[in-house]
Amino acid sequence: MKTIVNGFEYFSPKTLEEALKMLSQYDSEEKEFKVIAGGQSLNLMMKQGILMPECLVSIKGLSELDYLNYDAKEGLKIGALTTHRAIETSDEIQKNFKVLVEMEHNVSSTETRNYGTLAGNFCHGDPGGDPAPVLVALNAIIKMASVKGERTVPAEEFTLDYYETVLGHDELLTEIQIPVIPPNTGVYYTKYSQILGDFALASAAVSITLDDKKEKCTDVRIVLGSVGSTAMRAKKAEEILKGKKITDELLVQAGQAASEESDPTDSVEASEEYKRELVGVLVKRVGKEALERAKKA
């Protein structure tokens, strides 16, 4: 059986303030540390020897960051320690952000969702992760804090590269803010993976907003996952749909454009060519469902 080779110290600050002070101190001492919430990705990477921190700062005990707040005007606020399962089983989210529940059904297994957090998954920065495409499609805002203060960035700008984000060493993601979905808007997400809950070979989230007559598309966001170093907007594909009455033919064209824009790599599961083909099919299908939802919204 695999065990972690390198030892580390384990700290559990009790408040956000204490945690931020700890991060600031370790950062100034140039200690190799990692922040752990549920650890459902981090623990496995330590087991594989990919990450070998000197210490772990466990924030799971910061109950002040475990919340879900919904307001009809301000939208949804998800605390950093809210588990996938809490999101998946929330009636308010099912009613107002159904796509989040659908996304959660794709995240690993119930056991992982019971302990892992949405924010932790997003911070992990795995390009195959499920939250990023959906958070970008929903225009989410990411709130971060350090001893120096707070700042926010759009979800779209949060992930920089494979497993790299804008988070400073001394910073914590504290809250994910999702604005109210605009009127006449439909959002959908799905992915292709070998079995349910596995990492995606390719995934797509699409948000479509129609005009008041529900004819022309006034706004669209097409976000691809697992086919680049981060979740990425397929902007050329979006341009094809914007301002037009969306037809099946136009969705096929958007799919082709997205396929060209995507940047997948060969893996043991599938070739680059196969993944590009998947992107085209996904954008067409997810776009069609988002359009249907926008018409009913």
Partner 1 sequence: MKQILQFTVNGEPRELLIDPKKFLVEVLREDLGLTGTHWACDTGACCCCTVIMDGKAVKSCSILAMQANGREVTTIEGLADGPNLHPIQQAFIDNWALQCGFCSSGQIMAAKALLDENPSPTREDIQLQMDGHLCRCTGFNMIQEAILDAAERLKGQK
Interface contacts to partner 1, rule CB under 8 A: 1-4, 6-10, 12, 36, 39-40, 43-44, 46-47, 56, 58, 60, 85, 105, 108-112, 114-115, 196-197
What's the half-sphere exposure (Cβ side, CA atoms, 13 Å) at 165? 26
End-to-end C-alpha distance for the chain, whole angstroms? 51
Distance, CA of 266 to CA of 252 (rounded, Å): 24
For residue 15, which of 61, 56, 55, 46 has the smallest C-alpha distance? 61
Kindly calculate the radius of gyration of the chain based on its CA atoms and give it in whole angstroms. 19
User: Given the complex with partner 1, which of 31 and 288 has the nearer CB atom?
Assistant: 31
Distance, CA of 77 to CA of 10 (rounded, Å): 29
* Smallest distance from partner 1 to CB 78, Å: 18
* Smallest distance from partner 1 to CB 36, Å: 8
Q: Between β-strands 75-79 and 164-165, what pairing exists: parallel, antiparallel or unpaired?
A: unpaired
Amino acid at 3: T
User: Given the complex with partner 1, which of 191 and 221 has the nearer CB atom?
Assistant: 191
* Smallest distance from partner 1 to CB 111, Å: 5
The number of angstroms, rounded, from the C-alpha of 64 to the middle of its chain's C-alpha atoms is 22
What is the token pair recorded at 158? 């949060």
User: Given the complex with partner 1, which of 105 and 216 has the nearer CB atom?
Assistant: 105
Write the DSSP symbol of residue 200.
P
Secondary structure class of 261 (helix, strand, coil): helix
* Smallest distance from partner 1 to CB 200, Å: 16
User: Given the complex with partner 1, which of 9 and 215 has the nearer CB atom?
Assistant: 9
* Smallest distance from partner 1 to CB 191, Å: 15
User: Given the complex with partner 1, which of 15 and 109 has the nearer CB atom?
Assistant: 109
User: Given the complex with partner 1, which of 17 and 111 has the nearer CB atom?
Assistant: 111
Handedness of CA 199, 253, 137, 172 (dihedral sign): positive
Q: How big is the CA angle at 198 (ends 50 and 284), to the nearest 5 degrees? A: 120
* Smallest distance from partner 1 to CB 139, Å: 29
User: Given the complex with partner 1, which of 46 and 204 has the nearer CB atom?
Assistant: 46
Handedness of CA 113, 117, 120, 125 (dihedral sign): positive
* Smallest distance from partner 1 to CB 6, Å: 7
